[in-house]
Structure 1
Amino acid sequence: MARKTSELGRFTDVALLVLISLAEGQKHGYRMIHDIEKFSGTALEPGTLYGALMRLEERAWIEAVETAERRKPYRITERGREALREQLATLRRIEQAGARRTATVWGTT
């Protein structure tokens, strides 16, 4: 099965965290960093976050929101929502396979 989200490449983890954060609503970078740490326990450095934002924006999975403030908020696009749904479905399949396989290996079927 061909995956449309293969473009995420080696940045899957950070990109996925950003898309999950923005799925709740638009946020600027500082707020995303705190949100991501709160829901995932992952502390991102600003450079890591802004690199992921740039890549996601290039793919049109997120977009900057006009503002008069100094901070630049972003929001997820419909293409980004679709990429997120696909990635989460893949992670569910991986989790289910892992649970089945570890139950078999550990004898807790």
Structure 2
Amino acid sequence: MKPERTRILLIVAPSIVECYRTAREFGLDLLQVGDMRCVTKPHLLRGWTRATPFIALHRERWPEDLDKALDALTRMGQLRIASNVDLDQFSEKARA
């Protein structure tokens, strides 16, 4: 049998500090959950499994290249905005 795939949540922001703040705003603890990845550069958005969920805040303050890359990959279906179900799964892992 195939092993179950690990679900990944991308936290997209222009810096690691902003990734941490974004995670906290969504009720997640980066120090507790190993299935989250911080993405701070446009080229790091490439290569994820189709429909990988992400969270992001304050995109109006981002560098244009990061915002455009995230927008393009979302429109193509490569990435998607995380749903409440996704966030609940990661919150449960953080509580465990």
The answer to whether the superposition gives a TM-score over 0.5 is no
Bigger proportion of residues as helix: 1
TM-score (norm 1): 0.33
Larger Rg: 1
Tell me: higher relative CO, structure 1 or 2? Use CA pairs within 8 A at least 6 residues apart. 2
